[in-house]
C-alpha cells in the first residue's frame, strides 16, 4: 500500500495531463492570473534524447520512440489491452503529451464536420459550428506557429498562417502533377513546424523525423509552445504524478485528485476546479477509476457514455515507387500536400462522409524493411534486399488516407479486470471494430489513391487497407452535447454531473471528422478555457479560497 | 550489457551474409563488419533484442548458414527477426553503405522560406484555385 504524503498547497484549478489540451489550458489560465497546478504522469523530455539527427534513428524508432506504449513499455506509460481492438492506440506520456511524437499535420475540420446529422442523417451535430470555432483556429495557428498557405478551396476563406509553407519536395510535386492530370483537389499541407525561427523555436531543418521527436527544437510540441508561457506566469507543473482518482466532496464537487509519484508515494492535490486532459483513452480510464459510492459507474457518467464512442481514425496507405530519385527521406514528416477531393459525402459511392489524404515522405532504408515480416526468406532478404532497396529507397512516397470513423457506442474504453500499470492501477481495455461504412469508405479511397499514384507516374503501387498501428487520434469517449442523457460534458467541456469538473481533450469530440485532430482539440480547449476565465465569478468551485471565484 | 563471444560473432556474420550477401554491386554484411563493434553498439542501444538474437545464434551454430536461416524463418521468426534487425540496422548505419545507396542520413537541409514555391510560379496550384471551392457550407439553422 502506498504511503500518503502531505498534500501540496491547494490550487484554484487542477489540470490533469500536460499534453496538447492541458498545456493550452494551463498557459491561458496562468496568464489570466489563475493559480494552476498540473499533474502529469510523465517526465519532461529533452530534445537531445531524440535520435532524428543520429544514424541510430530508425533503430530507436522501433522501440524507445515507438508510438505504441505497449511496445515502448516505459514506466511513464500505462499498458493497454488491445486484444479486442482492430487498431492499436498510439500516444506519448510526458510533458507535451502526444505532441512529442505527433507528425504536426495541422488541420481544421471542414464546416460539414460539425453538422453530420443535419447533412447526412448520421451521428449527431456538434453543439457549435465551424464559424463559432473559426477565431480559435486562427489563434491556435498563431500560438503553434503554423506554416502553410491560405486560400485552400476546401475551406471558407480564413486568416493567413503566421509562417510561409514548408517545401513540398519532389514527392509533393510528383503527387500534385498526378492530381492535376485528374483535375483533383490538392493543396500544400499546413504543418505546425516553423518555416522560420518562431517564438523560441528554430526553423525546421527537414530531418523528417517529427514522428519520433524533433531533435532540433523546431516542431510545435506543447512543452515548447505553451509550457514556457504557463511557467512564466506561475503555473506549477508536477511531473511523474500519476493520478489514480479525482476526489469528490460531500457537496458532489470535485475537490482535487490523488496521485502516485515516481517513488511510489501517494499524495492529494486539492483544487477548486478540476480539468481532465488525459486524452481519449486516459480520460475515460481516469473517470472510470474514480468510481465511488455516489458514482458507482465512474465519475461524470450518469449518461453511461464515459468510454463509449471511441473513434481512432482507420488509416490506409497507398505507396507508389517511382523510377527517378525523389529524396523521399526529406522532411517535414509532416505532410507535403493534402487532398480533400473525396472528403464530402456522395451517397452514390455507397457510404457517407469521407477522408483526407496526405502525402508523406518514406524515411530511411531500415523502415522500409518493417513490412517484410513473415515473407519467404529470399523474397525479403538476399539479393532481393539490395534490389528492393535500390528500387524503393528514396523513390517512394505514400498517400495516407484518414477515414472518418463514425461514433458507435460499442467501440469503447473499459477497465481491464487484470492488467495494471507499474503503480498497480487498472489498465484500459479497448473494444473497437470498423463499421461497414468505414470499410466501404476505405475501399473507395484506396482505389482512388491508386489512380492518383498511377496518374503521378508510379512504376509500382502497393496498398495497405488498414494499418494496425494507426490509433494516433483518440476521440469521442466523453462526448459533448446539450442533452445530459446523451453526452458527458457541455460545449465548454463542463461535466453535466459534476459542475466544477471539466474535460478539454479529444474525448469530447462528437464525431471524428477525417482530419488530424490536434488543431481542433486545442481550438476547443482555448474556447472552453476562455469561457471559464470570462465566467469565473459564476464558476462553481470546491475550495472557498479559490481566486477563480473572485 | 550483453557480451558476445567470438564464436557467436562468427555465426552471426555467416547468417548476416545469407540475409545481406555481396550482390547487385553491394557489399555483404560481414564486409562492413556488422559483427564487430557495430554489433555491441546495437545491442547496447536495443537490449530488448538480445535474448531472441542469441537464441537464434545458438540454434544456428554448427549448421550451414543458409539452412539455419531457413529453419529460423520457419520455426522461430522472432529470433530471425532480431538477427535481421541487428544485421540490417548495422549495415545501413555504415557510412560506406549509405554512400552506395545515396543516403546522406536524415539531413539538416533548411529551405528558404522566402522563395516562391515552384507550384505557384509555374501555375500548377492556380489550376486548383480555378476550379473553385469544394466544401459544403454550414447549413442554415
Ligand atoms: C505518432 C503520433 C502522430 C500524430 N500525428 C498527428 C498529426 O500529425 N496531427 C494531429 O493533429 N495530431 C496528431 N497526433 C495526435 C495528437 O498528438 C493528439 O491528438 C494530441 O496530442 C491529443 O491531445 P490531448 O490533450 O487529448 O492528449 P495528449 O497530448 O495525449 O496528452 C495527455 C497527457 O495526459 C497524461 N496523463 C494521462 N493519464 C494520466 C494520469 N492518470 N495522471 C497524470 N497524467 C496523465 C499523459 O501522460 C499525457 O501527457 C499524433 C499522435 C501520435 C501518437
Ligand atoms: S522535419 Fe523539422 S520539425 Fe520535423 S523533426 Fe526535422 S527539424 Fe524537427
What pLDDT shows up at residue A370?
53
User: Are the C-beta atoms of residues A150 and A164 closer than 8 Å to each other?
Assistant: no
SS3 of residue A542 by DSSP: coil
Flag whether pLDDT at A546 surpasses 60. no
Q: What is the mean pLDDT of chain A?
A: 95
| Across A3-7, A55-59, A509-513, least confident range | A3-7
Check residue A5 and give its pLDDT.
54
- Decide if pLDDT at A373 tops 60: no
pLDDT value for A376: 84
- Strands lying side by side in the sheet with A355-360: A187-188, A337-339, A355-360, A396-403, A315-321, A460-464
What's the CA angle centered on A440, arms A434 and A441, to 5 degrees? Answer: 85
DSSP helix/strand/coil, A526? helix
Ligand of minimum distance to the alpha carbon of A312: 1
**Distances, alpha carbon A450 to alpha carbons A187, A297, A317, A353, in Å:** 19, 47, 10, 20
pLDDT tens, residue by residue, B27-83: 999 999 999 999 999 999 999 999 999 999 999 999 999 999 999 999 999 999 999
Mean pLDDT (whole number) for A180-197: 98
pLDDT for residue A230 is more than 70: yes
Range of the domain at A98: 1-53+90-147+213-312+474-550
Query: Cis (ω within 30 of 0) for the bond into A334?
Result: yes
Strands A426-432 and A81-85: parallel
Ligand 2 closest atom vs CA A209: 5
Beta strands A11-16; A36-39: pairing state? parallel
Question: How many CB atoms lie under 10 A from the CB of residue A1?
Answer: 6
CA of A104 to the centre of ligand 2 (A): 9
Q: Helix or strand or coil: residue A175?
A: helix
Query: Peptide bond preceding A135: is omega within 30 degrees of 0, i.e. cis?
Result: no
Closest CA to A123 of A539, A489, A525, A480: A480
CB-CB neighbors (< 8 A) of A156 in chain B:
133, 135, 137
Q: What is the mean pLDDT of residues A7-35?
A: 95
The reported pLDDT for the residue numbered A408 is 98
Q: Between B85, B107, B119, which is nearest A173 by CB?
A: B119
| Strand ranges in A90-210 using DSSP code E only, listed in sequence order | 187-188
Q: Which uninterrupted H or E stretch holds A103?
A: none
Q: Is A234 among the domain residues?
A: yes
Pairing of strands A266-276, A315-321: unpaired
Q: What is the pLDDT of residues A235-249, one digit of tens each?
A: 999 999 999 999 999
Residue A170 has pLDDT above 70, yes or no: yes
pLDDT at position A549, please? 42
Residue with cell 517529427: A210
A510 domain-assigned: yes
**Residues of A with CB below 8 A from B101's CB?**
365, 389-390, 393-394
Q: With helix as H, strand as E and coil as C, how does A377-429 read?
A: HHHHCCHHHHHHHHHHCCCEEEEEEEECCCCCCCCEEEEEEEEECCCCCEEEE
Q: Distance between CA atoms of A212 and A383, rounded to whole angstroms?
A: 30
SS3 A370: helix
Q: What is the mean pLDDT of residues A345-360?
A: 98
pLDDT at A537: 87
Chain-centre distance for alpha carbon A93: 12
Contact B101, B39 (CB under 8 A): no
Compute the nearest-CA separation of B56 from chain A (Å).
15
Q: What is the pLDDT of residues A247-271, one digit of tens each?
A: 999 999 999 999 999 999 999 999 9
Domain locations along chain B = 6-101
- Does residue A293 lie within any of the structural domains? yes
Placement of cell 494496425 in the chain: A468
- Mind telling me how many Å the CA of B7 is from chain A's nearest CA? 23
- DSSP assignment of A457-520: T-SEEEEES--SS-B---B-TT-B-S-TTT-SB-TTSBBSSSTTEEE-SGGG-SS--SS-SHHH
> Number of structural domains, chain A?
1
Which residues, 6 or more positions from A378, have their beta carbon under 8 angstroms from its beta carbon?
A: A384
Res A323 pLDDT > 90: yes
Q: Give the integer Cα–Cα distance in Å for A510 and A354.
A: 16
- Smallest Cβ–Cβ distance between B117 and the set A165, A206, A365 belongs to A165
Reply yes or no on whether the pLDDT at A372 is more than 90. Answer: no
Beta-carbon separation of A329 and B19 below 8 A? no
Which CATH number does the domain housing residue A251 bear?
Answer: 3.50.50.60
Q: Residue A235 domain-assigned?
A: yes
Cα A208 to Cα A218: distance, rounded to the nearest angstrom: 11
Pocket test for ligand 2, best of A54, A100, A206, A223 (most atoms within 8 A of CB): A206
pLDDT digits (tens, 9 = 90+) for A117-141: 999 999 999 999 999 999 999 999 9
Residue A105, C-alpha cell as written in the block:
499535420
Contact A212, A60 (CB under 8 A): yes
A218 lines ligand 2 (CB under 6 A): yes
The predicted structure's pLDDT at residue B63: 98
CA distance A443 to A436: 11
The Cα–Cα gap between A211 and A417 comes to 32
Residue A61 has pLDDT above 60, yes or no: yes
Instruction: Take residue A517 and report the three cell numbers written for it.
Output: 485532430
Residue A30 CB contacts under 8 Å (≥ 6 apart), including other chains: A36, A229, A230, A231, A232, A233, A234, A235
> Rounded mean pLDDT of A209-226?
97
Question: Long-range pairs for A203-206 at CB < 8 Å and ≥24 separation?
Answer: A203/B110, A203/B113, A204/A147, A204/A166, A204/A331, A204/A332, A204/A334, A204/B110, A205/B107, A205/B108, A205/B109, A205/B110, A206/A166, A206/A167, A206/A330, A206/A331, A206/A332, A206/B107, A206/B108, A206/B109, A206/B110, A206/B111
> Mutual orientation of helices B77-93 and B50-60 as an angle, nearest 10°?
110
The predicted structure's pLDDT at residue A374: 59
Preferred mutation among A70, A345, A377 to probe B, highest tally of B CBs within 10 A? A377
Task: State how far the Cα of A352 lies from the Cα of A342, in Å rounded to an integer.
Answer: 11
Strands ordered across the beta sheet of A426-432: A81-85, A426-432, A412-420
> How much is the average pLDDT of A324-343?
96
Q: Could you identify the atom of ligand 1 that is nearest to the CA of residue A22?
A: 25
Q: What is the pTM of this model?
A: 0.97
Strands A11-16 and A266-276: parallel
How far is B126 from A542, CA to CA, in rounded Å? Answer: 57
* Residue A125 domain-assigned (yes or no): yes
Is A518's C-beta closer than 6 angstroms to any atom of ligand 1? yes
How would residue A467 be classed by pLDDT, with cut points 50, 70 and 90?
Answer: confident
Amino acid at each position: 500500500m502506498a504511503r500518503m504524503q502531505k498534500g501540496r498547497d491547494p490550487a484554484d484549478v487542477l489540470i490533469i495531463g500536460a499534453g496538447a489540451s492541458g498545456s493550452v489550458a494551463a498557459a491561458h489560465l496562468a496568464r489570466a492570473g489563475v493559480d494552476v497546478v498540473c499533474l502529469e504522469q510523465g517526465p519532461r523530455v529533452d530534445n537531445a534524447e531524440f535520435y532524428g539527427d543520429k544514424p541510430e534513428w530508425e533503430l530507436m524508432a522501433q522501440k524507445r520512440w515507438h508510438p505504441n506504449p505497449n511496445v515502448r513499455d516505459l514506466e511513464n506509460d500505462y499498458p493497454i489491452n488491445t486484444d479486442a481492438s482492430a487498431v492499436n492506440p498510439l500516444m506519448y506520456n510526458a510533458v507535451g503529451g502526444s505532441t512529442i511524437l505527433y507528425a504536426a499535420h495541422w488541420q481544421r475540420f471542414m464546416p460539414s464536420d460539425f453538422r453530420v446529422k443535419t447533412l447526412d442523417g448520421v451521428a449527431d451535430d456538434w453543439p457549435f459550428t465551424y464559424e463559432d470555432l473559426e477565431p480559435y483556429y486562427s489563434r491556435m495557428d498563431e500560438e503553434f506557429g503554423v506554416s502553410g498557405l491560405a486560400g485552400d478551396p476546401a475551406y471558407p476563406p480564413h486568416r493567413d498562417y503566421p509562417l510561409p509553407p514548408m517545401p513540398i519536395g519532389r514527392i509533393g510535386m510528383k503527387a500534385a502533377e498526378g492530381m492535376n492530370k485528374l483535375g483533383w483537389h490538392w493543396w500544400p499541407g499546413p504543418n505546425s513546424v516553423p518555416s522560420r525561427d518562431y517564438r523560441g523555436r528554430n526553423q525546421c531543418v527537414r530531418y523528417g523525423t517529427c514522428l519520433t521527436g524533433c531533435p532540433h527544437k523546431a516542431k510545435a510540441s506543447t512543452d515548447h509552445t505553451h509550457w514556457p508561457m504557463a511557467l512564466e506566469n506561475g503555473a506549477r507543473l508536477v511531473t511523474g504524478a500519476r493520478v489514480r482518482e479525482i476526489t469528490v466532496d460531500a457537496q458532489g464537487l470535485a475537490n482535487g485528485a490523488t496521485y502516485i509519484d515516481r517513488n511510489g508515494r501517494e499524495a492529494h492535490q486539492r483544487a477548486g476546479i478540476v480539468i481532465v486532459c488525459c486524452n481519449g483513452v486516459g480520460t475515460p480510464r481516469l473517470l472510470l477509476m474514480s468510481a465511488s459510492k455516489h458514482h458507482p459507474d465512474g465519475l461524470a457518467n450518469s449518461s453511461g457514455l464515459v468510454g463509449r464512442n471511441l473513434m481512432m481514425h482507420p488509416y490506409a496507405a497507398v505507396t507508389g515507387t517511382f523510377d527517378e530519385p525523389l529524396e523521399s527521406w526529406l522532411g517535414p514528416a509532416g505532410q507535403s500536400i493534402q487532398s480533400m477531393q473525396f472528403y464530402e459525402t456522395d451517397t452514390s459511392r455507397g457510404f457517407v462522409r469521407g477522408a483526407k489524404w496526405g502525402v508523406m515522405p518514406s524515411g530511411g532504408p531500415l523502415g522500409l524493411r518493417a513490412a517484410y515480416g513473415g515473407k519467404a526468406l529470399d523474397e525479403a532478404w538476399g539479393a532481393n534486399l539490395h534490389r528492393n532497396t535500390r528500387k524503393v529507397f528514396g523513390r517512394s512516397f505514400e498517400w495516407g488516407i484518414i477515414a472518418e470513423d463514425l461514433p458507435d457506442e460499442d467501440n469503447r474504453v473499459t477497465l481491464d479486470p487484470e492488467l495494471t500499470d507499474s503503480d498497480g492501477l487498472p489498465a484500459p481495455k479497448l473494444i473497437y471494430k470498423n463499421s461497414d461504412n468505414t470499410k466501404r469508405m476505405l475501399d473507395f479511397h484506396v482505389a482512388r489513391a491508386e489512380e492518383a499514384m498511377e496518374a503521378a507516374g508510379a512504376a509500382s503501387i502497393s496498398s495497405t487497407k488498414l494499418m494496425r498501428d494507426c490509433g494516433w487520434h483518440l476521440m469521442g469517449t466523453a462526448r459533448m452535447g446539450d442533452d445530459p442523457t446523451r453526452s458527458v460534458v457541455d460545449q465548454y467541456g463542463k461535466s453535466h454531473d459534476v459542475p466544477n469538473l471539466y474535460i478539454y481533450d479529444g474525448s469530447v469530440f462528437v464525431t471524428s471528422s477525417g482530419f488530424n485532430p490536434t488543431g481542433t482539440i486545442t481550438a476547443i480547449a482555448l474556447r472552453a478555457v476562455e469561457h471559464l476565465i470570462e465566467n469565473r465569478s459564476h464558476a462553481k468551485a470546491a475550495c472557498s479560497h479559490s481566486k477563480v471565484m473572485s | 550489457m550483453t557480451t558476445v563471444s567470438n564464436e557467436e560473432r562468427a555465426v552471426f556474420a555467416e547468417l548476416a551474409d545469407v540475409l545481406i550477401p555481396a550482390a547487385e554491386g553491394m557489399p555483404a554484411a560481414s564486409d562492413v563488419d556488422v559483427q564487430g563493434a557495430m554489433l555491441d553498439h546495437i545491442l547496447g542501444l536495443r537490449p530488448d533484442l538480445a535474448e531472441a538474437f542469441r537464441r537464434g545464434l545458438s540454434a544456428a551454430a554448427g549448421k550451414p548458414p543458409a539452412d539455419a536461416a531457413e529453419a529460423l524463418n520457419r520455426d522461430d521468426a522472432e529470433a530471425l527477426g532480431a538477427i535481421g534487425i541487428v544485421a540490417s540496422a548495422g549495415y545501413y548505419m555504415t557510412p560506406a553503405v549509405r554512400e552506395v545507396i545515396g543516403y546522406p542520413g536524415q539531413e539538416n537541409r533548411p529551405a528558404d522560406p522566402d522563395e516562391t514555391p515552384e507550384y505557384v510560379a509555374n501555375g500548377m496550384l492556380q489550376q486548383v484555385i480555378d476550379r473553385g471551392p469544394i466544401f459544403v457550407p454550414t447549413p442554415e439553422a
